[in-house]
Structure 1
Amino acid sequence: MDEKRLCLAHDDSLRMLRLARRCDDLVLAPAPARVLRDADGSIDPAALVAALPNELFAPTAQNPVDLRFDDDASRSGCSLVRSCPGLLRLPDDAYLEVLTAEGDPLCVCGSTVAHVLVEAGPLAMTSAAVTLGRAVGAGRLSRDAALVRLTGFAMELCGRYARDPLAPLVGDVVHDIEPVSSVRELRAFLDEPTGLHGVELARMAASYANDGSGSTMETCWYGVFCLPPRLGGAHLTRPLQNVALDWPAEAAGLVSHERMRPDFHWPRYETACEHQGGDHTSEQALEEDSRRARDYELCHIHYLPLTKKDARDVNAVTALLAQLLSIIAPYETDAFARRARRMLNDEGVCAARRVLLAQLLPPRLRWCDGDA
């Protein structure tokens, strides 16, 4: 059998990565070492079309698929392929292979076995940084807006959700899935002197990101809480996200839940926040909300729920942030309270918070166009 490696690049890779994360019948596995060295350019168009899901790809000469090759000599001459240059000093773990749930390659076409590979988290970050950098260079996006958006993308890679491959901004989001990377992995890759384009912006975004986000809305609130004020955030210490609480021994027989994973938990501040994303008006939902609030109280944890109305515009977000800072203030010095007041009332920070919401707030929750 003739084995071909199709190393997807840029947006085509990202679409395939998101699809693989969302589909139960697909899995992601580490790719073989030196994967580009074995990606030669003699690609059969029929095998290419058969290997790629038709819900994502319809390759034509006018709409080719982006594939990465090691050097000019190995580039494809196939009319359905746009050849991307290889990358110097590319680590062995830069790619992941998309396999069936049984662990088989995606396609066997005649005598050709087609292995479909996607950029792993760190390389996907650099590709996204290149795309956003072009938007900045063209004047379509400010550098700070690009940095906020790229931080949100890092949170998706290191989180437990995946956006829609074809409509990432407005499509349905799949939740409760395994992360494809971690902040530590992103930083380890990006801190290496690889000479990749976009690495500076990607490195900065990875330094701001956090593990464990469970939804796009959680990522938005994380930005409000933890990004620096120049990007619209309050620069709080990173919370634990969706990490199970350890109940105090004295509360073990009193709480209603065996385990709770707050969206945000600051152990130092004895404070937790949860975003109420679903329907919380039914009697059953209200009872569950009450049980959770009682459990937090029994464990001496300040509980601050986050509702859709709290994100309706920049004023509502700032009001919620002021409440959180007032809860945290007794655990900090007097200087913290003074800095918090200045940050909440600073016009420049409020303007940056509008930019943050425009980049991270899901469009369906943008109630006020003037603030999004």
Structure 2
Amino acid sequence: MDVVLAGADSLWVLRRARSDAALGLARGVPAPAKTRAAELAAIADVLPDGFRPLGSKTPLDLTYFSRRQRPFLAAVHAVTHLSPVLEDTYLLVTGAGENGVRLFVEGPALTLSHMAERLRVAVGHGSLTRTAAFFRLMGLASELCGTYARDPSNPASGDCAWKVDVLCGPEELRRSLSLASGVRGVAEARRVASLVVGGSASPTESLLAMAMSLPVELGGVPMSAFLHNEELAWPKGTRQLVNHQTMTPDFYWPRHAVALEYDDAVHEDRKNVREDHRRQQDYAACDIALVTSQADDLRSAHALERLMRLVALRLAPCEESGFMLLVEQALQDSSASSMRTTLLSQLLPSRPEGREDKKRAPAGDKSLHS
């Protein structure tokens, strides 16, 4: 039997599978003929530990591939998928199936579309503003295209899993969404996918990437394109000067020789202070201007704008003469500043992310928070 999760339950298991070393995700196509009416006992056996108890008060979101298959059970919320199923529509959860039962979750494109629909409903009910919904969806797209996964049960403030496998890149996400049909929320998902930057290693990096890449009307600042978490090629003749064989800046502008790195906490212990010093030495040895930022730089829209202005000043020598004027216009735009305030409220974790935590990948509700 193939068990195909949908909606919020699919996202819960997707996040858990990315963060749990005992689980994994692989391409796979569920077989409709093997998807029978819900057998809750068999389904419960393949769900990961920590999943909520099954029952009529919190129905399980399941996908079926024909209207005749849909069960009429209080404990099941049945979703019917009648569109063509492509190879990346669903993902097989490895390490979860047993006794001939396979567990599937929605792939990135379907996950993003279904979240877009849930957020649209929340906006219609007045529980969320349209701008907040947009940034929540952007945050989910960044997570799907990044190397971190939010906590399944508490995505707003729970521990993230770091250095997880990327599910897809922005181009792959856009391609999958372009092929999707008959799916609610797909139009907004396509809009978000057209703007997302891949490769973020944390929610804060996703926030900074948005601030430096989104259009001004969405709160962005007109910066040049950057490399995001890509290995830095040392200039010739500097190998004997640097402490590290390789470096991977959070953000890097090669033409400008400018790097931006975010540190989540003040590093007071001797080991971290020494490492920070060595990284700064390496950037200096290669004539790379390093801009560092911490949580205080994201405490408000005003603080974020100050950081953006500092980055722009480092980029300005390699830009055209009107560059700083355009940046200042964007930073002083009251509507854009309001968008940045909402961006901070939706993307920042409820507690600081620890840099040391990002060096390991800890194991890992039907909350609307994406």
Partner of 1:135: 122
Structure 2: distance between partners of 1:283 and 1:42: 59
- Shift of residue 326, structure 1, vs aligned partner: 0.9
Look up the SS of the partner of 1:186 in the other structure.
helix
Partner of 1:7: 4
- Shift of residue 126, structure 1, vs aligned partner: 0.7
Look up the SS of the partner of 1:268 in the other structure.
coil
**Paired amino acid for 1:28:** L
- Shift of residue 57, structure 1, vs aligned partner: 2.8
Partner of 2:20: 23
Partner of 1:166: 153
Q: Structure 1: any 5+ residue segments left out of the alignment?
A: 367-372
**Paired amino acid for 1:57:** R
- Shift of residue 192, structure 1, vs aligned partner: 2.5
RCO comparison, higher one (Cα < 8 Å, 6+): 2
Structure 1: distance between partners of 2:224 and 2:111: 26
Look up the SS of the partner of 1:82 in the other structure.
strand
Look up the SS of the partner of 1:245 in the other structure.
coil
Look up the SS of the partner of 1:126 in the other structure.
helix
Structure 1 position 53 matched with structure 2 position 48: yes
Partner of 2:97: 106
Percent of aligned pairs with the same amino acid: 34
**Cα distance per residue 1:48-106 (max 9 Å; x no partner):** 11121241131112222100111211213444321112142332320111111xxxx52
> Does the CA contact (< 8 Å) of 1:7 and 1:36 recur in 2?
no
Aligned partner (choices 73, 81, 90) of residue 76 of structure 2: 81
**Paired amino acid for 1:280:** H
- Shift of residue 233, structure 1, vs aligned partner: 1.6
- Shift of residue 134, structure 1, vs aligned partner: 1.1
Look up the SS of the partner of 2:61 in the other structure.
strand
> Does the CA contact (< 8 Å) of 1:279 and 1:285 recur in 2?
no
TM-score (norm 2): 0.91
Look up the SS of the partner of 1:6 in the other structure.
strand
Structure 2: distance between partners of 1:36 and 1:202: 26
Partner of 2:59: 64
| Correspondence list, 1:234-253, <5 A | 234-253=221-240
> Does the CA contact (< 8 Å) of 1:6 and 1:114 recur in 2?
yes
**Paired amino acid for 1:68:** T
Q: Structure 2: any 5+ residue segments left out of the alignment?
A: 354-370
> Does the CA contact (< 8 Å) of 1:187 and 1:207 recur in 2?
yes
User: Which structure dedicates a bigger proportion of its chain to helix?
Assistant: 1
- Shift of residue 163, structure 1, vs aligned partner: 0.5
Partner of 2:258: 271
> Does the CA contact (< 8 Å) of 1:42 and 1:78 recur in 2?
no
Evaluate the alpha carbon distance shift between residue 119 and residue 208 of structure 1 in structure 2; reply closer, same or farther with a 3 A threshold. same
Deviates most, 161-170 or 143-152: 143-152
Matched residue count: 353
TM-score (norm 1): 0.90
Give the CA RMSD over aligned residues: 1.7
Structure 2: distance between partners of 1:193 and 1:12: 21
**Cα distance per residue 1:230-288 (max 9 Å; x no partner):** 22121424422211111112111110001111111122322111111244122322221
| Correspondence list, 1:196-235, <5 A | 196-235=183-222
Structure 1 position 97 matched with structure 2 position 92: yes
Evaluate the alpha carbon distance shift between residue 188 and residue 302 of structure 1 in structure 2; reply closer, same or farther with a 3 A threshold. same
Structure 1: distance between partners of 2:143 and 2:226: 16
**Paired amino acid for 2:15:** R
**Cα distance per residue 1:203-247 (max 9 Å; x no partner):** 111111111100111111112222222221214244222111111
Structure 2: distance between partners of 1:38 and 1:20: 25
Look up the SS of the partner of 2:351 in the other structure.
helix
